[in-house]
A = this chain, B = another copy of it.
Amino acid sequence: MVWLTGLSGAGKSTIASAVAADLRNRDIAVEVLDGDIVRRDLSHGLGFSKEDRDENVRRVGFVADLLSRHGVVVLVALVSPYRAARDAIRSGRTPFLEVFVNAPVAVCERRDPKGLYKRARAGELAHFTGVSDPYEPPISADVECRTDLENLEESARKVLDAIGDAIDAARLVEKV
């Protein structure tokens, strides 16, 4: 399970898509659980309070776990701003890579691909991470992608390398 966390507009979905495409090309089973789709198909009715976000993270973790059990590499692209909620997933039984998709909020706000920062600044969106809600960065992410300093290819490569290492490590464990 590869968990991409970071601000809206940091590039989580873009990196997840690029990584997924590369894995699929190598016939590795992969699934992307993207925040927007998850909100529609799994968590309709949940809001953006800490409680609801944590429930959303738990739910996505549950589904990712189900898929992982069957050998699917699951890429989760979700703001998931609270450290404890992410750490709870990490402590589960599924091998977990935390990817911190990191760009300063000013950069994310300039990109604003969905116009959400604009709406948040206008006071139309409550609980908006980075504007009116906190983001707790990972303390020891397995991978950090600085999307303001590196291009998509570099970011995707880092994630792919970490996945490769994790798969190799799992194989070694199986052999022992």
Q: Verify if A152 is at the interface (C-beta below 8 Å from B).
A: no
Question: Smallest Cβ distance from A153 to chain B, in angstroms?
Answer: 27
Q: Verify if A42 is at the interface (C-beta below 8 Å from B).
A: yes
Closest 10 CB pairs of A and B: A41-B62, A70-B72, A29-B70, A63-B63, A70-B70, A42-B59, A31-B66, A66-B67, A44-B55, A67-B67
User: Could you list 25 A-B pairs, sorted by A, with CB under 8 Å?
Assistant: A29-B70, A31-B66, A31-B69, A31-B70, A41-B58, A41-B59, A41-B62, A42-B42, A42-B59, A42-B62, A42-B63, A44-B55, A44-B59, A45-B45, A45-B46, A45-B55, A63-B63, A63-B66, A66-B66, A66-B67, A67-B67, A67-B70, A70-B70, A70-B71, A70-B72
Give the nearest-CB partner of A29 in chain B.
B70
List residues 13-45 of chain A with CB under 8 A from any CB of chain B.
29, 31, 41-42, 44-45
A66 / chain B contacts, CB cutoff of 8 Å: 31, 63, 66-67
A36 CA to B71 CA in the complex, in Å?
25
Give the nearest-CB partner of A61 in chain B.
B41
Q: How many residues of A contact B (CB 8 A)?
A: 18
Interfacial residues, chain A to chain B (CB-CB below 8 A):
29, 31, 41-42, 44-46, 55, 58-59, 62-63, 66-67, 69-72
A63 / chain B contacts, CB cutoff of 8 Å: 42, 63, 66
Beyond contacts A42-B42, A42-B59, A45-B46: 6 other A-B pairs, Cβ-Cβ < 8 A, are A31-B66, A31-B70, A41-B59, A45-B55, A66-B67, A70-B72
A29 / chain B contacts, CB cutoff of 8 Å: 70
A59 / chain B contacts, CB cutoff of 8 Å: 41-42, 44
A41 CA to B43 CA in the complex, in Å?
11
